[in-house]
Every structure is written in C-alpha cells, then in structure tokens.
Amino acid sequence: MGDDVGNRIVVRPPSFPEVNAGEVLSADPGREWQVLCGDCGHWRLGIYSPPFSSRQELTRLERHSCPELFLLLSGEIVLVVAEMSSGGPELREIPLALGKPVLITQPHAGYCPCGRHTGTAVVVERDEFETHYLPLSGWPSVLAGSRPAANGSAAKNCETGDKTD
C-alpha cells in the first residue's frame, strides 16, 4: 500500500482495502502485516505478526511520522523500541499483554518469542504517513541525521468529501 523509496515507505490515502460494513473481517495467518480496513484520510487498522523469534534476528527499526497503537490479539509479541535515556541510547523491550494497548512513537521492531508468526496484534495508525528504516546497529547516529517529513497535509483521493473533524 506504500511506495518504497529507498529506505523510506510512503503511505497515501486510501491505504486500505474496501470492505463491506457489518461483515466480519479476517486476516490470513503467517503474514507479517495485513491492512484490514480504515477511514480515508484518518486511520487504518492492520494485523501485525512478526516473522522473527528473537531480538538477535532483527536488523532494522521502523520510524513512522505518526503514532502507532498495538494491542495483542493472540500469542506473544515483544516490541523493541529505541530510546534516548539519561544513560544514552538504549533498546528497550516491551512485552505486549492481552487487553493492554501500547502507543508507540519511538523507532521500533518486534518479534514473537515463541516462534515466528506465533503472535498477532491489532495495529492502528494513520491513513497517510511515512516510514523511515534505521539499522538496528548504529541507529543513534542515523537517527541524529534524519527526520521524517511532517505529515499534516489534507487527505487526498478519498471518495467521500463529508469529513469535517
């Protein structure tokens, strides 16, 4: 749903499939990321299931120009977030818990400690944003030299024009 521009992914609305309102939405098992639905120019919802089983398998962090909400659906998922603490840059692990949503704004990645794709989480994010990828090793220096573009533009290509929020 996004245009891959080097180490950057650009998502533009509408960035989700059309669905029939009132019908149950389903996700295919064994996929890292599937967008299920959304509201054009506003939000979209997807299912996330990391294809990694340990932090050692991670090679990059994703950094979005919007917040991202995670809510564990099944299994186990550990998010790894890059933060600047008083002691310097650090990678912090956040084990997701059922019924306990977590909002992420930091560069992040994730893994399933019980095996690849054994955990699933609901993700809510914007319908329009950019993602920059940072290497897991050396992310502090890369982060210091990059910043995703601000994302305050009006939604484009939306079929309905009656959104007034």
Query: Which residue of the chain is nearest Fe ion when measured via CB?
Result: 62
Q: Give the nearer residue to Fe ion in terms of CB position, either 68 or 130.
A: 68
3-state secondary structure of 127: coil
Q: How far is CA 148 from CA 89, 113, 133, in A?
A: 19, 30, 10
Closest approach of Cβ 62 to Fe ion, in Å? 5
Closest approach of Cβ 64 to Fe ion, in Å? 6
Closest approach of Cβ 99 to Fe ion, in Å? 21
The residues pairing with 39 across neighbouring beta strands, listed in sequence order, are 43
Closest approach of Cβ 26 to Fe ion, in Å? 22
Query: CA-CA distance, 124 to 67, in Å (whole number)?
Result: 9
For Fe ion, the binding residues (CB under 5 A) are 62, 68
Q: Give the nearer residue to Fe ion in terms of CB position, either 61 or 155.
A: 61
Q: Give the nearer residue to Fe ion in terms of CB position, either 95 or 163.
A: 95
H or E segment to which residue 79 belongs: strand 78-85
User: 64-83 burial by CB neighbour count: b if 16+ within 10 A, else e?
Assistant: bbbebebbbbebbbbbbbbe
Q: Give the nearer residue to Fe ion in terms of CB position, either 68 or 127.
A: 68
